[in-house]
Amino acid sequence: MHSSWRTVCLLGRLALAIGSGWAPAVHADEVTDRLKLTALTEEGELLLDEADALQPMTDRLAREGEQLDQIEPKLREESAALDAAIAKFNGQNKDLERAVQEHRQRCPRESEDKALVESCNAMAAGLQSVAQQLEQERPRLHTRQQELKARIEQHNGVRREWAMRKRDHDARLQANRTDSEPWLTSAKSFLVSDSMKANLKKAGDPAQCKAAAPAELTGVGPAEAVRRVQACLKALAAVPVPTKEVR
């Protein structure tokens, strides 16, 4: 902020004008108020310009954050469904292993019992069919697992990159808020000073200043408070300074 530099320049120009003898005379307190008003208005404009410049990125990060938040539940659902499919596959494999073991115990390599042979052959055919189905399912599950893993890793990378950008942006927002706090304190004190109360009445109590009254700013966020107070200051700055002719 360069408000102090601007104040010095304004003082210099004013002193030159008064010294030349052509400027209309004004009361000392009115000069001081006008200088203070100009300095506060210029600094407030800088604060708002910076806040406005940050707003598009604030909105963009908010949208991206919402999109990421929407993706994550879907990924969790897919992961849970895949885990269930893998658990089912593993359970079927165990069932198959138990059935194969039972077949070995029940069915000899050779037998004269025709009924037993037919039963064992039918059981073996069924087990073979189940084994083939599981072998076909294994690569599908593996592919599904790899694809989901890649998407989760990609999402996590995007989330980390977003978090870094948001952290840096939040730091800039906080710096703007930190700069706004002393300005707000100074501007509020200035507006409630006795001389400015009188000036408010002379200016016809602008609507902008009613919205910037202390009671109206209760519960209002810093950014909105700066905007309201600045609107009041600009409304007052637009009112001509009362003057008297030099005799």
Place of tokens 């084994």: 131
Which position has the higher pLDDT, 213 or 162?
162
Distances (CA, A) of 241 to 18, 125, 232, 236, 238: 15, 104, 16, 10, 9
Other Cβ atoms within 10 Å of 230 Cβ, number:
22
Model confidence over 132-186: pLDDT tens digits?
999 999 999 999 999 999 999 999 999 999 999 999 999 999 999 999 999 999 9
Residues 6 or more apart in contact with residue 107 via CB below 8 angstroms: 116, 119, 120, 123, 124
Provide the 3-class DSSP secondary structure of residue 193.
Answer: coil
Helices (H) and strands (E) in the chain, counts: 7, 0
Please report, for residues 191, 193, 201, the alpha-carbon distance to residue 233 in angstroms, rounded to integers and kept in the order given. 8, 13, 14
pTM: 0.68
Indicate the domain borders of the chain.
Answer: 3-237
